Amino acid sequence: MDSTITSASQALAAGNPLDAMNLVALRDDAPALALRGIAMAQIGDLVRAKSLLRDAVRAFGPQDRVAQARCIVAETEIALATRDLGWSAKRLDAARKTLETHHDHANAALARHIELRRQLLLGKLDHVEQTLSEIDTTPYPPALKASHELVIASTRIRRLQTQSARQALVRAARYARQSGIPGLMAEIEDAALVLNTPAARLITSGRERLVLLEEVEALLASRSLVIDACRYDVRLGDTTISLARRPLLFTLIRILSEAWPNDISRDMLIEQAFRTKYADDTHRVRLRVEIGRLRKLLKELLDIEATPRGFVLLPGQAQEVAVLARPIEERHGSLLALLADGQAWSSSALAAALGASQRTVQRTLDTLVTTGKVQSFGHGRTRRWLLPSIPTFTTTLLLPTPLPGD
């Protein structure tokens, strides 16, 4: 390796992309292309960075497999940053194995963590946690240790294990400071904000307030009967009954829960659940039928009793009834929760993370664009979607991830 390439590499490792660019800006050989690509990525021009790295992969050729593998890892990291999750896992894994074979353990570990972060975005927490438990970070440099702790913190946040998440973030911040990379320190500070930002609205006995993830964790561990309007289920202790496929029944139990400990009139239930102000005998019969179905489904957790004017919820062994509502009532909350990370997503990546078809996601995005809730840029395969502004609450509870007890 010549001295110019060595100096540029050292500048990149120290987080000085402009110095690295000044050294190799006029060169088109393979090492220079790779360094220019990484520098452009650090500057923020990810499209140009990806193009340069692809050129570098071709320029290195099969005779320099290690350099090729490093470029593939860097290119994949850019794809992750641009929320283009459709890369070949086999190609990245092959690059990782090449790096391990040639004792480049730092870049091999980076490749593994890039794949872990993709799995995290796709909601595959079991796989991520299993892989994390098998990794020994002792030989890692501080930047990689910080990334490792950041992945741990993200899984704990998704699992609503907030104390464990805070501890991981403290370790991540310490390693990030040791690395001296400003971008990494900023990423960890952003991740920590999730724990200090309202995640939901808690409605109990007619009172409503915003709550943090920590309070949500405590609520789910308590003896309260929780009507979870983020996941459309009813919880008490370790028992969870989903009503995600019974929207009318969920609407009824939510109305009864918000009125608890008081009863609510039949006319009010009909108006809010059936969306009509003109209740007749047909509506009253239907209400009686639906309440009967609700009693049968939730008999393990609660009872619903008829009163002279309507119905009242009896929470059984629960100490209180709490409704956990979304920070904003939005039909497409899960999709908006993914976009709330501030990154520009492709529609295919959104479809993969939500477990929905790309056509369905595309239609939803088009609808959200017409209402101004989502913006897009680019065309065709390069089109990306993002929120016009980052919300002032965390959307962790809206992400498609199982909570404790699910």
Domain with residue 352: its CATH number is 1.10.10.10
Residue 266 sits in the same domain as residue 248: yes
Task: Please tell me the pTM assigned to this model.
Answer: 0.77
User: CA–CA separation, 282 vs 278, rounded Å?
Assistant: 11
Does 110 fall in a domain?
A: no
Q: Please give the distance of CA 107 from its chain centroid, rounded to a whole number.
A: 25
pLDDT of residue 392: 55
Q: Is the peptide bond before 261 cis (omega within 30 degrees of 0)?
A: yes
pLDDT at 222 over 80: yes
pLDDT at 264 over 90: yes
Does 349 fall in a domain?
A: yes
Q: Are strands 321-325 and 200-204 parallel, antiparallel or unpaired?
A: antiparallel
DSSP classification of residue 137: -
Question: Higher pLDDT residue, 351 or 401?
Answer: 351
Domain end residue (candidates: 159, 178, 196): 196
β-partners of residue 310 are: 265
The helix or strand, by DSSP H or E, that contains position 51, with its residue range, turns out to be: helix 46-60
Does 85 fall in a domain?
A: no
User: CA–CA separation, 349 vs 352, rounded Å?
Assistant: 5
pLDDT of residue 279: 79
Angle between helices 3-13 and 30-43 (to 10 degrees): 20
pLDDT of residue 390: 53
Type of residue found at 245: R
Percent of the chain with pLDDT over 70: 94
pLDDT at 272 over 80: yes
Q: Where are the alpha helices (DSSP H) in 180-246?
A: 182-193, 213-221
Q: What is the mean pLDDT of residues 362-385?
A: 82
**CA distance to 123, 132, 141, per residue, from 146 (Å):** 21, 13, 9
Percent of the chain with pLDDT over 90: 43
pLDDT of residue 162: 93
Residue 337 sits in the same domain as residue 241: no
Residue 142 sits in the same domain as residue 210: no
Q: Picking from 21-35, 98-112, 323-337, 356-370, which range would have the lowest pLDDT averaged per residue?
A: 323-337
Split at pLDDT 50, 70, 90, the class of 393 is low
pLDDT of residue 27: 87
pLDDT at 406 over 80: no
Domain hosting 164: range is 133-196
pLDDT of residue 372: 78
> Whose CA is closest to 88, among 102, 67, 72, 104?
72
Residue 174 sits in the same domain as residue 253: no
Does 167 fall in a domain?
A: yes
Residue 222 sits in the same domain as residue 245: yes
Contact 295, 304 (CB under 8 A): yes
Residue 316 sits in the same domain as residue 337: no
pLDDT at 165 over 90: yes
Q: What is the mean pLDDT of residues 129-135?
A: 91
Residue 321 sits in the same domain as residue 366: no
pLDDT at 382 over 80: no
Does 68 fall in a domain?
A: no
Residue 174 sits in the same domain as residue 223: no
pLDDT at 309 over 70: yes
Does 59 fall in a domain?
A: no
Residue 216 sits in the same domain as residue 302: yes
Query: How many structural domains is the chain composed of?
Result: 3
Question: Higher pLDDT residue, 48 or 392?
Answer: 48
Q: What is the mean pLDDT of the chain?
A: 87
